[in-house]
Copies of this chain bind each other. A is one copy, B any other.
Amino acid sequence: MSPRRSYDQYCSAARALDVVGDRWTLLIVRELLAGPRRYTDLHADLPGVSTDVLASRLKDMERDGLTTRRRLPPPGAAFVYELTGRGRELLPVLQSLGAWGAGELGERRPTDALRAHWFALPLLRELEGEALVEVRLEEGEFHLYAGTEDGPVYGYGPAPEEPDARLVLDSAACEAVGRGELSLRDAVRDGRVEVTGDSPFAKALREA
């Protein structure tokens, strides 16, 4: 728990960095945008973070109103961490960072870790309208709540109910989309993304 090292500048960007500028904080937000998570699972999806730093950040974030800690009902009665509304409002920050960072992404390096749901943010930027979308990659599966205002923005594993559309992408295609070199629209047209579903949303996506 850091005693808050502030820039002490009366500037809203500097204040934001006082709260989320520490190492790992925004990446923890990225993880929690997928919904509530346990400590150990967070640690597993944030390779490189040390246990004490993760614990310390979670305390800081709770103190700062970004997250809450909640006990799951039995069975399984573990603690989970989840974003508050204020925490979820950081989505535009992660989106703009991600949009800029796409230009830095390049080829995947041998040392680069990868999780399927890290493609959720770039894909979300490309989807218009309100829909539940299930995405299957070689690395795993996740789902997106496109166009929603509150609640989780995406989630792990298959969609909890029948989705409006299902997408299947191979590694090359989703990495190209992640780098911003390939739009989802073009990927669909070139047959590099398989879109299934009977909803108007799925049909519109196929005809893009």
Q: What residues make up the interface of A, taking CB atoms closer than 8 Å to B? A: 6-19, 21, 23, 26-27, 30, 47-48, 86, 89-90, 92-105, 108-109, 111-115, 118, 121-122, 175, 178-180
Q: Is the interface of A mostly helix, strand, loop or mixed?
A: helix
User: A8 — which chain B residues lie within 8 A by C-beta?
Assistant: 47-48, 109, 111-113
- Look across to chain B and name the residue whose beta carbon is closest to the beta carbon of A12: B101
Task: Assess whether A100 is in contact with B23, with CB atoms less than 8 Å apart.
Answer: no
Considering the complex, give the chain B residue whose CB is closest to the CB of A90: B100
With A17-B97, A104-B18, A104-B19 known as contacts, the answer to whether A27 contacts B12 (CB < 8 A) is: no
The count of identical subunits is 2
Residues of B within 8 A of A180 (CB): 12
Q: Would you list 15 pairs from A and B whose C-beta atoms are within 8 A, ordered by A residue?
A: A9-B27, A9-B112, A10-B108, A10-B112, A12-B97, A12-B100, A13-B94, A15-B104, A16-B100, A19-B104, A86-B103, A89-B103, A92-B96, A92-B99, A93-B93
> For residue A93, which residues in chain B have a CB less than 8 angstroms away from its CB?
93, 96-97, 100
Most buried by B among A18, A97, A180: A97
Smallest CB–CB gap between A110 and chain B, Å?
10
Is the Cβ of B9 less than 8 Å from the Cβ of A26?
no
B residues in contact with A19, CB < 8 Å = 101, 104
Q: Which 7 A-B pairs have the closest CB atoms?
A: A16-B101, A12-B101, A10-B112, A11-B118, A15-B101, A13-B98, A16-B97
Flag if B27 contacts A7 (CB, 8 Å).
Answer: yes
